[in-house]
Amino acid sequence: MSKIDKVVLAYSGGLDTSVIVRWLQETYGCEVVTFTADIGQGEEVEPARAKAQALGVKDIYIDDLREEYVRDFVFPMFRANTIYEGEYLLGTSIARPLIAKRLIEIANETGADAISHGATGKGNDQVRFELGAYALKPGIKVIAPWREWDLTSREKLMQYCEQHKIPVDFSSGKKKSPYSMDANLLHISYEGGILEDPWAEAEEDMWRWSVSPEAAPDEPVYITLTFENGDPVAIDGERLSPATLLEKLNKLGGANGIGRLDIVENRYVGMKSRGCYETPGGTILLKAHRAIESITLDREVAHMKDELMPRYANLIYNGYWWSPERRMLQAAIDESQQVVNGEVRLKLYKGSVSAVGRRSTESLFDERIATFEEDAGAYDQKDAEGFIKLNALRLRIAAGKGRKLI
């Protein structure tokens, strides 16, 4: 075991990370610096300070990262219309590179020689945290307690708390959720419990951010999103900061039953995992962004973006946000977004979101050419004959050589 003098721990104030503080102090004999990020998880983060102080921590960082998270991570990802395996909007994945970045910044500020996290050895988050950390500080040491200790159950963790007099209160009258949950401004995720059976339907009282589509209002809600350079900047003409805008979309979407997802996904470490997600604002944003791109992007640019998107999604899901290939793709994506400006009108109704209007000064939609009415010579339909024959040439040659298709 290498000598560790000081370690920065990603600290939530919950059971696992409170145990980790004491375990690090005793196992490595090191000073622990705690870092708690507010990325819009919907819970008060300040109580983590008192809990860390009770554990003897002197350097305590509690940072409001909500605006940075949405502006510099969520919005760039949505410029690519990013979804993983056709459905997942990557709400957990995209938060990890920001946390890794801040862990390294604090390590540099405090002179720490290691970082630590509470991710388990079965999941994706360990990969995301550590790939980001190594990319930003190659010589950093990483301590992942779940890969080292023998505290493999909640009961053992509670026994450890009792034996080491860890002052953590888990006895509030609030009923403990049977699910493992993670939340930020983009989404809330649920794993474990009955969800470990892929055949079992999620319980209705599990969902926290949205009403069921059946219980949503009987009248649709219409909103207008304004985009500048591919990013949403206003709702119904009211300009909002990135975090405030996403928060408002979450409320609008949740109230109309939008954004629920139940999937079995392929983790990077090799196993399949069943998870449920609520991403109301992100679901609205994805629909709106594709709608504004539909009238502003050149056809081949739009198609190339769609071809690149699955690769981009894999990079984020697997933890390669800080990789050169992700940055290269981001540069191409951002270049395409210079013309993605305008407004999209959306209809929110009982779990669905529809784009019902789009307009832009950058629009490539030409009514004179697209019309079914008289176009005054804007398009010569006779040109289509040569176009079709040239594109059929290779097919005609092959058929003339006797190559059978059926």
Residues belonging to the active site: 16, 96, 125, 180
155 marked ligand binding residue = no
What is the C-alpha to C-alpha distance for residues 24 and 238, in angstroms, rounded to an integer? 48
What is the C-alpha to C-alpha distance for residues 53 and 63, in angstroms, rounded to an integer? 16
Beta pairing partners, 15: none
- Of 251, 276, 260, the C-alpha closest to 212 is 260
Beta strands 60-64 and 114-116, pairing class: unpaired
28 marked ligand binding residue = no
Contact 166, 26 (CB under 8 A): no
Helices (H), ranges, 111-220:
125-136, 154-163
CB count within 10 Å of CB 375 equals 15
Contact 329, 311 (CB under 8 A): yes
128 marked ligand binding residue = yes
Both structure tokens of 228: 């500048």
The set of residues, in sequence order, having a beta carbon less than 8 Å from that of 77 and lying 6+ positions away, is: 90, 94, 316
171 marked ligand binding residue = no
92 marked ligand binding residue = no
Positive or negative CA dihedral for 298, 300, 303, 308? negative
354 marked ligand binding residue = no
What is the C-alpha to C-alpha distance for residues 34 and 231, in angstroms, rounded to an integer? 33
Both structure tokens of 378: 């804007």
- Burial of 141: CB neighbours in 10 Å, binned 0-12, 13-18, 19+: middle
Scored b (16 or more CB within 10 A) or e, 160-185 reads bbeeeebebeeeeeeeeeebeebbbb
**Residue 282 carries which side chain, given as an amino acid letter?**
G
267 marked ligand binding residue = no
Q: In the chain, how long is the greatest CA-to-CA distance?
A: 86
14 marked ligand binding residue = yes
277 marked ligand binding residue = yes
- Of 216, 173, 155, the C-alpha closest to 350 is 216
180 marked ligand binding residue = yes
61 marked ligand binding residue = no
**Residue 128 carries which side chain, given as an amino acid letter?**
R
108 marked ligand binding residue = no
124 marked ligand binding residue = yes
Of all helices (H) and strands (E), which one includes residue 180? strand 180-183
Residues annotated in a binding site: 10-18, 37, 88, 93, 118, 120, 124-125, 128, 180, 189, 265, 277
Mark the binding-site residues for ATP, compressed into ranges. Answer: 10-18, 37, 118
- Cite the annotated binding site for L-citrulline by residue number: 88, 93, 124, 128, 180, 189, 265, 277
In the annotated binding site for L-aspartate, the residues are 120, 124-125
